[in-house]
Amino acid sequence: MTHDSRALRNAFGAFLTGVTVVTTRNAAGEPIGFTANSFASVSLDPPLLLVCLAKTSRNFDAMTRSIGFAVNILSEAQKDVSNTFARPVEDRFAAVSWSDGPYGSPVFADVSAWFDCSTYQVVEAGDHVILIGRVEAFEDTGLAGLGYARGGYFSPALSDKALLAGQDMPQTLGTVAERAGEVLLQEAPDGTLGLPSIELESGGDGVDALFGHLHDLCRLPVAPGLVYSIYEDTQARRQHVIYRATLGEGDIEGAKLYPVDALPLERVADRATRDVLKRYAQESSLGNFGVYVGNQEKGRVHAQAARG
């Protein structure tokens, strides 16, 4: 049975992971490294971990022939480090504070944890290899990690903090639902447009209800996404939490899709919703998404991300 490789990659991307940078030194003694989220612990006795490496990687020869490598688990403030080591930057290591680990591979400062390993085994696995390392030294800093799912970074600590801050007030949960470059908007009786949303009382648990409402509205398969915007309406004393979502194929009922690069913002009455849609359109064109936290007038976008 054959699969569409892009669709399979997207399905794999549904699994929430951390973000690491794997490092070693090449035959000339120069530090090299690459961003990876295919990391897992394997064994405590002996202490083993693994990462996966594509055979097409320019680091393939150096990594598979090295006597050891390090895995740096990035902290929530290190998305720029992740992006740097995921791109063909000439001097990647200039972007991070690092030193040689006890076993000789580069380890980074300000990470959640690092593991300096000897190469235990290299296992063939289709178009990748599995690098199994024996942990020779490690450090756990206690810093919150950087998360990754469906092509975007997220910070669990940031989202939890923002959501808990609003648990004593009513909430409106909404969603920016996209399919093939178009966003779903719902028309009100007065002709204005808005995001599909539901209202909750204080302390309600409505994420499942939100995506159930979205499915009932458009009668399409719904793939829930990450938190996209968390803001407080300071006048109404209501918290708004907006999620991303992806819609499946089929005919839509009860709402309409609009091109993300030509959204009818003049028909969106709510200013905060207009701002959400403007940011979404801009970030879609750049291939970067973040999490806005603040109020209806000012705030900050955290953890911008490059889509995979």
- Write out pLDDT tens, residues 70-83: 999 998 888 889 98
In this predicted model, what pLDDT tens digit does every residue of 190-243 receive, in sequence order? 999 999 999 875 444 567 788 888 989 988 888 887 888 888 888 888 888 899
Domains within the chain, CATH numbers bracketed: 5-149 (2.30.110.10), 153-306 (3.90.79.10)
Neighbours of 63 (CB within 10 A): 23
Give the tens place of pLDDT for each residue, 77-111: 888 899 899 888 778 898 899 999 999 999 999 99
- Rounded to whole angstroms, the Cα distance separating 169 from 173 reads 13
Mean of pLDDT values over 115-130: 94
- Average pLDDT rounded to a whole number, residues 134-146: 89
47, burial (CB in 10 Å: exposed 0-12, middle 13-18, buried 19+):
middle
Q: How many residues does the chain have?
A: 308
